[in-house]
Amino acid sequence: MVTTEVRRRRHRALVRWRTVDIVVASVIAVTGGVVFWAWDQLWNTTQVAFAAFPPGQAVMYGIWLAPGLVGALVIRRPGAALYTELVASIVEALLGSSWGLSVVLYGLAQGLAPEIVFAAFAYRSWRLPVALLGGAAAGAAAAGLDLHYYYAAWQTGWKVSYVVIVAASAMLVAGLCGWYLVRALAKTGVLQPFASGRRSPSV
């Protein structure tokens, strides 16, 4: 039988961030921010290719949601998804995002959404289905902001299509690819300081 004191110790161990957690989460975030900035340029230059059906460009969206999922899957602590996604968005803004400081609001929403999913599983399940749910949640949050700020005038069909495509892109790139990336890194031994490197990533 697990005593109250044991539960408290487990909780403290779960929520307390170590120096290595902060350093690695920051590396993931800064790298993500640089990728974000580069992806901004690609997004802007490819818009013409989707002129006939603008919601279709959302297939490219998933990359903007990857740091939060990867950070959470590696660190496995409350706040990891929010921290990595938010810091990545700040780096993106500092580098000169096409959307200015508004990307920081997106980083906040895109980090909070998967955080809620992982919290629903008490930060103890890191299986692929949970990662996919986290990706879908991040995508839905981002799409909701986009529809509010940029695409409010779209017809309903386009709006629904956009949300579905963003969520699917997030599930594939951030959820699926992110989960397999962490699994591959775990096999190399570089994640040994983390639970994600010492036990099966399916846990």
Contact (Cβ atoms closer than 8 angstroms) between residue 159 and residue 147:
yes
Average pLDDT (26-43) is 98
Q: Domains of the chain, with CATH numbers?
A: 18-198 (1.10.1760)
- C-alpha distances in Å from residue 147, one per residue of 65, 106, 143, 166, 178: 17, 12, 6, 11, 26
Chain-centre distance for alpha carbon 52: 29
Helix (H, G, I), strand (E, B) or coil at 183: helix
Provide mean pLDDT across the span 62-83.
98
- Tell me the residue ranges of DSSP E strands in 89-175: none
Helix%, strand%, coil% for the chain, nearest 5: 80, 0, 20
Condensed to tens digits (0 to 9), the pLDDT of residues 128-182 reads 999 999 999 999 999 999 999 999 999 999 999 999 999 999 999 999 999 999 9
pTM of structure? 0.90
The predicted-structure confidence for 95-106, as pLDDT tens digits, reads as follows: 999 999 999 999
